[in-house]
Amino acid sequence: MEKKTSPNATPAFCNYDNSDYQDAFWGEGRRAYEDRSEEIAFRRLLPEQGKLMLEIGAGAGRNTLRYAGYERIVVMDYALTQVQQAKARLGNSPRFIYVAADVYRLPFVNELFDGATMIRVIHHLSELDPAFAEIQRVMQTDSTFILEYANKRNLKAILRWLGRRQKWNPFSKEMTEFVPLNFVNHPKTIEKLLKKHSFRIEKTLAVSNLRIGKLKANPANLNWMLKAESVLQRLGAGFKLSPSVFLRCRSVETKAKSRFNHFFICPNCRSYSLSHQLTKEVCQSCGYEYPIIDGIYNFRVNPEDQKHID
Ligand SMILES: [Zn+2]
């Protein structure tokens, strides 16, 4: 994985292109406990039904099939190779729209989605404020946004800090970059930012409460760990001492209905005038061309992988 850089600068974030993240991180049941903990959280947070969901940072589609109530899902990741893996897993279906794009420059019209999720993503974003603003832009009034964040004020971090085995203070409100492009955030900071961008938190769950290497090492522990996790998700929600926190938020920004019957916009200049061609979308305003490769829309604004026809 590498640092994503862009000459006309959106904030830095981690690019998982050409990474074996799916196998290396999730493979062979190494994180069965975390994966199943998230499944429990989703069951408690997802609406029973919805029309169009935006999955931000979908990776290889590990969670996508869990959004069973949604008629259609935009499976989006910045890393094109991750989207390719997601497509290989989920297949060619009118239910899935595959998009490679940047959360700071979403290639969608305003108020398009009635649902969105962003799981295990913001610990790779160097700035949250513009990301939340951009997500709110594409959400309808009253839509559901499920957000996961890595909680800096978790029990393990507090104990390490008290034992002087960790330098950074888990109680400080600012974001901490503990290794390059890996950030942890304070619950209060996240809550404040969500409020600023008109997301009302409806439900909080403390997730992956038993992320303890020694326990996870023995697969025989999985069943009882998940039973305990199920209880702790609700019990711990008020304390928020878990390494991961899931929130169900509702967009409470009142918006006028979108005037246009469009789906995509140009992420470079925000124009609605995209012309759909067989193998690409072409912006009539700025000239950017966005290739459609094997059914995947590549809306990354990056001169290295986009042709510019000024
Ligand atoms: Zn444009």
> Once rounded to an integer, what is the mean pLDDT over residues 150-170?
95
Label residues 268-283 b or e (16+ Cβ within 10 Å = b).
Answer: beeeeebeeeeebbbb
- The number of residues in the chain equals 310
Looking at residue 8, its pLDDT comes to 58
Q: Near ion ligand 1, which residues have CB within 5 Å?
A: 266, 268-269, 271, 283, 285-286
pLDDT at 226: 95
Question: Domains of the chain by range and CATH?
Answer: 2-255 (3.40.50.150), 264-300 (no CATH)
CA of 281 to the centre of ligand 1 (A): 10
Residue 302: the pLDDT is 73
Cα–ligand 1 centroid distance for 222 (angstroms): 50
pLDDT category of residue 26 using cuts at 50, 70 and 90: confident
Residue 136: closest CA among 59, 237, 251: 251
Cα dihedral 59, 65, 69, 73, rounded to 10, equals 40
Residue 125 backbone dihedrals phi, psi, to 5 degrees? -105, 130
pLDDT higher than threshold 90 for residue 3: no
pLDDT band at 310 (very low <50, low <70, confident <90, very high): very low
- Compute, in angstroms, the gap from residue 273 CA to the centroid of ligand 1: 8
Whether residue 133 has pLDDT greater than 90: yes
Answer whether residue 205 shows pLDDT above 70: yes
How close is the Cα of 282 to the center of ligand 1, in Å? Answer: 8
CA 161 to ligand 1 center in whole angstroms: 48
The CA 64 to ligand 1 mean position distance, Å, reads: 30
> Per-residue pLDDT tens for 45-91?
999 999 999 999 999 999 999 999 999 999 999 999 999 999 999 99
Max mean pLDDT range (6-20, 32-46, 289-303): 32-46
Q: How sure is the predictor about 309, in pLDDT bands with cuts at 50, 70 and 90?
A: very low
Largest CA distance in the chain: 61
Rounded-to-integer distance, Cα 48 and Cα 13, Å: 32
- pLDDT greater than 50 at residue 290: yes
Q: How far is the CA of 288 from the centre of ligand 1 (A)?
A: 6
Q: How far is the CA of 58 from the centre of ligand 1 (A)?
A: 25
pLDDT of residue 2: 58
Contact (CB, 8 A) for 161 and 178: no
**pLDDT for residue 16:** 86
In the block, residue with structure tokens 């330098």:
167
- For residue 10, the model assigns a pLDDT of 82
